[in-house]
Amino acid sequence: MPTIIGISGSLRKGSFNSALLRAAADLAPPELSITIASIADVPLYDADLEAESGIPEAVAALKEQIAAAQGLLLVTPEYNQSLPGVFKNAVDWLSRPAKDIPRVFGGKPVGVIGATPGPGGTRLAQTAWLPVFRALGLSPWFGKQLYVAVAGNVFDAQGSLVDAKVSGLLAAYLAGLSDVVKDATAR
């Protein structure tokens, strides 16, 4: 069964984006497995650290997880009308050394979704990821879009997805992503 790696760009315990990722793993169609990976142990990128000690263990492990998977799902918060630095920092580390980019990311389908307590649903953050996808040679999937706005009404206090409309949209998004991952894997 194709597996995709799902990553939330928030470190917050009560994160809406991590809650959305957990809901995605639950609502994925039976023919797609979503493995939740974490960026919590990724240090700040420092070229001196890389030169002296190489790729940190947490980064190397995540790179191999992505390399072995058939696709990616980024679940992005929106900070200052763009993507969060914490999330970008993790992806910057994952892109090192640059010679590994084709092996780790090259041609993989990637989906991006996100949640915010505000009204915009992470539209700007999702768009801000596009140049990064191009730099990594990823294959972004635009067949459906999922912008979760006013997230405080969509998840309960335990982080469970309680909005039937968003559940339906998420399931449809994942069904579409599953189809492209399946197609890409068959090629």
Q: Is 6 in the site for ligand FMN (CB under 6 A)?
A: no
Whole-number Cα distances in Å, 143 to 26, 43, 52, 158, 179: 21, 34, 43, 31, 10
Q: Are 70 and 184 in contact (CB under 8 A)?
A: yes
Which is closer to ligand FMN, CB of 95 or CB of 116? Answer: 116
User: 133: closest CA among 107, 155, 151, 114?
Assistant: 107
Q: Is 160 in the site for ligand FMN (CB under 6 A)?
A: no
User: 22: closest CA among 44, 102, 14?
Assistant: 14
Task: Identify the residue among 70, 95, 116, 126 touching ligand FMN (CB under 6 A).
Answer: 116
The first and second tokens of residue 137, run together, are 């040679």
Q: Is 17 in the site for ligand FMN (CB under 6 A)?
A: yes
Q: Are 57 and 95 in contact (CB under 8 A)?
A: no
Q: Is 12 in the site for ligand FMN (CB under 6 A)?
A: yes
Site string for ligand FMN, 56-85 (x = CB under 6 A): ---------------------xxxxx----
Which is closer to ligand FMN, CB of 143 or CB of 152? Answer: 152
Binding site for ligand FMN (CB under 6 A): 10, 12, 15-17, 77-81, 116-118, 120
